[in-house]
A and B are shown apart, each in its own frame.
Chain A
Amino acid sequence: MSAARLGLMAVPVAFFALFFAWPVAAIVARGLKVDGAWQFGRIADVVTQPDIRHVLWFTTWQALASTALTLLIALPGAYVFARFDFSGKQVLRAVVTVPFVLPTVVVGTAFLALVGRGGLLDELWGVRLDTTVWAILLAHVFFNYAVVVRTVGGLWAQLDPRQEEAARMLGASPLRAWRKVTLPALAPAVAAAALMVFLFTFTSFGVVQILGGPTFSTLEVEIYRQTSEIFDLSTAAVLTIVQFVAVGAILAVHAWTVRRRETALRLVDASVTARRPRGAREWGLLAGVLATVAVLLVLPLAVLVQRSLGTADFGYYRALTHEDGGTFLVPPIEAIGNSLQYAVAATAIAVVIGGLAAAALARRDAGRLVRGFDALLMLPLGVSAVTVGFGFLIALDEPPLDLRSSWILVPLAQALVGAPFVVRTMLPVLRAVDARLREAAAVLGASPWRVWREVDLPLVRRALLVAAGFAFAVSLGEFGATVFIARADRPTLPVAVARLLGRPGELNYGQAMALSTILMVVCAVALLVLERLRTDRTGEF
């Protein structure tokens, strides 16, 4: 490995070692070490407890069900986005993507407003879904619709339709041509998207925390409950280890499918493959997809906004500015300022760490070791925010590194969750920079540093902005890690929403809706800015 790469990688490696590996190690020690001796039997003890077994079972089957339901609902959408050309497509693409960057807390609240007690369906027909698993499943579909449409639809749009035409000319029926030519090309992307959705729903926290009530609990929620309600840190640690192993396995399979997806497919410019729908069936399909988007993605958010305006004169919004002494030591509105400050700091950290890592990974001579580092960087994303938060809580609270009372703790945790997004956004762009362009600059007398400034930076400036925007949105909405470590007098927006929801009373409920709406607007604005900047739609997010 070259000295240059070692230098680039030193900072991200140190960062991840200190703020990820060490906390994870601390969790393992906390869970499996009793009186100084390793007790691996603890794992078996914990997972055979009936209530824990129930949690494990529920976590797995709801993730499977959510994934299947998402694919069922989103694949027609992927097809419509890939192959049809219709007016308003750009707007619709943005609308579909908004949910993905929305904070889980907002989504949970929105579904509560739609299907919960006193929700829209309750008022109209007396139907409540918040006591059933359906609320969770539908919220998961809401979230992950964009994942499937983006990964599968993005590739589908770039598949050359002439491949299918060639199969037709060789005597295949339309269905057979699709099955033999398009489906095999698409399968790895579908698998990758499905795994991604499975991962996100397997580690679902905010949605289940809000919609699950006392009945439904995923591993994440259980870890949080064991930590903050039962104070059984040792059991929480064991559960974290179990989750860590499961997520590691899922990520390994995902990395494998991604590599397969990269195998030689003939791709064409997406703009040439789309056409106007033809005939009643295609128009019907388009209408069906539009209706799905309206009911599943737009309606919950509309209801959320409507509920937040429940009283006259923006009563709930104005209530946010008052100190209430109980839930908060400060007026809830101050959470906006806290969130923005944390997000700026977290974005700066994530962009530096992720940018350096991407620069190291993008170099041509990347070997096995570096690819391993790539996978390692993805871990915090999948390993779940709760692990990160819990790890911070038990690892960074004593000398030599006591950050418990420092404000930087929250941005550090959020940057850890945001950095993988930065790497994923920057890496394809950096890899696409022709290495010979750098060589051309070097031969003309540019030192390595100048090569980076003169060649790489101008080409990736846009990607850098997009990455920063993603990190910002992730940080704004981050809930799982923040809820562990945010100080009581400095809540972030999602933490404040969750706290308001946890208290009884019409006013608290309304304030939660109002605060969620504010958070949604901030995130949506951030995303719409990103959509304008983004040119390349083949990325993974």
Chain B
Amino acid sequence: MLLSLQDATVRFGGRPVLDAVGLDVAEHEIVCVLGPSGSGKSTLLRVVAGLQPLDGGLVSLDGRDQSGVPAHKRGVGLMFQDHQLFPQRDVGGNVAFGLRMHGTSRPQQQERVRELLDLVGLPGAARRAVASLSGGEQQRVALARALAPRPRLLMLDEPLGQLDRSLRERLVVELRELFGRLGTTVLAVTHDQGEAFALADRVVVMRDGRIAQSGTPLEVWQRPADAFVARFLGFDNVVEGTVAGQAADTPWGKLPVPENAAQGARTLLVRPAGVRLVEAGEGLPCTVAARTFRGTHVAVRLQPEDAPRLEAACALQDAPEAGERVGVEFDAAEVVVLD
């Protein structure tokens, strides 16, 4: 393993921010840590970088224990959330900084700076002032600066956090392509699930300093480990119920569940696509509370009598008006029995 954390623990004033975290990252792997703010994901990066001392546990790189190794000797790269470009240096000076620190000769520095600026799509920008760059350009320079000394592990803290949506979606694809081509090992953290799923080979969901789930984007998306992960991924149809055979007893009535589902008292997730609208009088009677246009579909918020609200996804032409009364049936294929 290139990077390995064992029982990594950090406490701020007695409160654990990282709570016995274990994580392995293999060479050439892109791992994305996903979690809400305050879940400890930035602290995780700082621990690996050597900027935050551990209160317990172990960080090793290439199998070597890193305790007592200061940040500047770890040979890892970190791209900060707000880039932290050096304001008094130009673009070239920023990119060359790590090379200078490692004693690279001047001609080699210039060569590498040119190469990296080409790579991140800013050819010939070496003499530009940092203040004159747009947000996206700053992000590219920060990336070039982090890559320049060829770190064995590149860490990204909310790499696209401050950029606008369309730029973010374009850059995330570029980043994945670039890392694939360079074979870079990457550990990124983000609170944006779309970003994590688009970038990562493996997603690690964090909650309150602990790892809640780890798996490929598809695994995590299809089978969230628990109600927290499901809600964090944006699924709101989460309900308690009792599973018996091929059906579950819930406040929304009897739900069909897939074969071989775990039995007994469980938390269930119904994906919006599995909530089918039918004529009023059939299935679970509901009132349409609100509808939100989502581009490819319409999200319809439904209020059953004496039960929590439900979200359904339906095609634009089928979407009922707010206040209409409808019936609801469920698809077994879109129902997931959690834990």
Contact = CB atoms under 8 A, between A and B. Distances in A.
Contacts of A448: 70, 72
Interface string B57-95: 000000000000011111111101010101110000000
Contacts of A445: 72-73, 75, 98, 101-102, 149
B49 interface: yes
B124 to A, nearest CB: 23
A444 B97 contact: yes
Contacts of A451: 72
Contact of B84 (A437, A446, A450, A459): A437
Contact of B149 (A434, A439, A442, A444): A444
Contacts of B98: 444-445
Contact of B77 (A434, A439, A443): A443
A319 interface: no
Interface in A439-465: 439-448, 450-451, 454-455, 458-459
Contacts of A434: 84
A442 B80 CA distance: 12
Given A436-B80, A450-B101, A454-B97, A442 B72 contact: yes
Interface in B90-136: 97-98, 101-102
Contacts of A442: 50-51, 70-72
Nearest to B89: A458
A498 B95 CA distance: 59
A450 B72 CA distance: 10
Interface string A451-487: 1001100110000000000000000000000000000
B145 interface: yes
Contacts of B49: 439, 443
B78 A443 contact: yes
A505 to B, nearest CB: 58
Given A458-B88, A459-B88, A441 B76 contact: no
Contacts of A459: 87-88
Given A445-B101, A445-B149, A440 B84 contact: yes
Contacts of A458: 88
A450 B71 CA distance: 13
Contacts of A439: 49, 51, 71, 78, 80, 84
A294 to B, nearest CB: 41
Contact of B78 (A437, A440, A446, A455): A440
A142 B100 CA distance: 53
A455 B89 CA distance: 10
Given A439-B51, A439-B71, A444 B101 contact: yes
Interface in B144-160: 145-146, 149
A436 to B, nearest CB: 5
A448 B80 CA distance: 19
A245 B84 CA distance: 46
A222 B77 CA distance: 64
A458 B49 CA distance: 25
B207 to A, nearest CB: 25
Size category, A interface: 10 to 19
Question: Which of A436, A445, A455 has the largest count of B CB atoms less than 10 A from its CB?
Answer: A445
A439 B88 CA distance: 16
Nearest to B98: A444
Contacts of B101: 441, 444-446, 450
Contacts of A454: 86, 97
Contacts of B78: 439-440, 443
B51 A455 contact: no
A25 B80 CA distance: 50
B51 A443 contact: yes
A437 to B, nearest CB: 5
A443 B86 contact: no
A443 B76 contact: yes
A430 to B, nearest CB: 15
B84 A436 contact: yes
A436 B101 CA distance: 17
A439 B71 CA distance: 8
Contacts of B102: 445
Contacts of A447: 70, 72
B80 A440 contact: yes
A463 B70 CA distance: 30
A458 B89 CA distance: 10
Nearest to B83: A440
Nearest to B78: A443
A168 B51 CA distance: 48
Nearest to A444: B98
Nearest to B102: A445
Interface in B283-305: none
B312 to A, nearest CB: 44
A454 B86 CA distance: 9
B85 to A, nearest CB: 8
B218 to A, nearest CB: 33
Contacts of B80: 436, 439-440
A443 B97 contact: no
Contacts of A446: 72, 97, 101
Interface string B253-285: 000000000000000000000000000000000
Question: Which of A434, A439, A440, A451 has the largest count of B CB atoms less than 10 A from its CB?
Answer: A440
A82 B73 CA distance: 49
B112 to A, nearest CB: 13
Interface string B1-36: 000000000000000000000000000000000000
Contacts of B71: 439, 442-443
A135 B159 CA distance: 65
A35 B145 CA distance: 71
A446 B98 CA distance: 8
Interface of B: 49-51, 70-78, 80, 82, 84, 86-88, 97-98, 101-102, 145-146, 149
The 5 tightest CB contacts between A and B, nearest first, are A445-B101, A444-B98, A442-B71, A440-B84, A443-B78
15 contacts: A436-B80, A437-B84, A437-B86, A440-B86, A441-B101, A442-B70, A443-B50, A443-B51, A443-B71, A444-B72, A444-B77, A444-B149, A445-B98, A445-B101, A459-B88
Interface of A: 434, 436-437, 439-448, 450-451, 454-455, 458-459
Given A437-B84, A443-B74, 18 more contacts: A439-B49, A439-B71, A439-B78, A440-B86, A441-B101, A442-B70, A442-B72, A443-B50, A443-B72, A443-B78, A444-B98, A444-B149, A445-B73, A445-B149, A446-B101, A454-B97, A455-B86, A459-B87
